[in-house]
Amino acid sequence: MEYRPLGSTDIKVSAICLGTMTFGEQNHYEDAAAQLGYALSQGINFIDAAEMYPVPPRPETQGDTERCVGRWLKESGQRQNVIIATKVTGRNPPSGDFDHIRGGTRLTRDQILQAIDGSLERLQTDYVDLYQIHWPERATNFFGQLGYRHRPTDAVALEETLEALGEIVSAGKARAVGISNETPWGLMEYLRLAERRGLPRVASIQNPYNLLNRSFEVGLAEMAVREKVGLLAYSPLAFGLLSGKYQGGARPAGSRLALYDRFSRYSNPQAEAASEAYVSLAREANLDPAQMALAFVTSRPFTTSNIIGATTMEQLKTNIGSHSLELDKELLRALEALHGQFTIPAP
């Protein structure tokens, strides 16, 4: 397993990160413990969670992902051997999806300080290695939006949010801070504030990145490299479409798309056609489609870690195995040709 620096910190994280958002929903504790143990045995030292997990978010299960990870940390005694990342929930949408978290989430100082204490209690640890903002307070481009439309809001200032993160670091409750679902302007504003105010410098940006959605390359990839704020890539398999299991409209029993209507981001006709093409290319090259798609994400120069997730041990083994796959120049050219044909079919 390769280990890469987390931003400008002295923290080294595995090139593959274990995502845990199914823990407490599709995966019960026994499954979670088995996944965590196997991942660790394969050299993975990086685990990503969030206070709102598991998904889909429900009042009855909120925080159960962190509880699963916390129980495993206590029972395994592996806290010193893993890098734990979690996130504070972003602004509550008009739909009120997160009214059950602190009565409706905002990225204010008080709410962030309350959120970290709740996460630490559930994780059964005194600190996390990386504490992230799950999505911006302001209205901007995230969760699939590409066309920017300026909408002035009463958003909490980034300065207040970063100051709160600084308090958390000063108190020893987090070693580093990061952002997620952010834009180029948001990243640069966080960096500017850190330099001007002597506040923590963000170490990472967790955004979607996969063969169906390479929008990160447009404005953020150069910044990630030059500013040493590497990508923690989520949805590297585009909700599983790039594994090939949904080919021809299939919906395997127990799969995310079969269980939940909310996961439709990659289900438009163009994305499905693109995924079919990528899966076919992999099979022509005698490669596992999921491993090819994951190897591409991990190999990008702006990627710090590739966040994989699985509901079965078989899937987990396949996904982790992608770290040893090196894509040759001919295959990379073929991937670029498909990218030219299907350019960001599912943002």
Catalytic residue list = 53
3-state secondary structure string across 166-207: HHHHHCCCEEEEEEECCCHHHHHHHHHHHHHHCCCCCCEEEE
Residues 116, 238: Cα–Cα separation, whole Å: 29
Neighbours of 144 (CB within 10 A): 13
321 CB neighbour count, 10 Å cutoff? 16
Q: How many Å apart are CA 20 and CA 46, to the nearest integer?
A: 11
Residue type, 30: E
The candidate with the shortest Cα–Cα distance to 55, out of 339, 312, 256, 280, is: 256
Distances (CA, A) of 197 to 159, 190, 192, 194: 9, 10, 8, 5
Give the separation between CA 186 and CA 165, rounded to whole angstroms: 15
Sign, Cα dihedral of 233, 120, 25, 108? negative
Cis bond upstream, residue 347 (ω within 30): no
Task: For residue 329, count other CB atoms closer than 10 A to its CB.
Answer: 7
Bin 264: left if φ > 0, else alpha if -120 < ψ < 50, else beta.
alpha
What is the spatial distance between Cα 120 and Cα 9, in angstroms, rounded to a whole number? 21
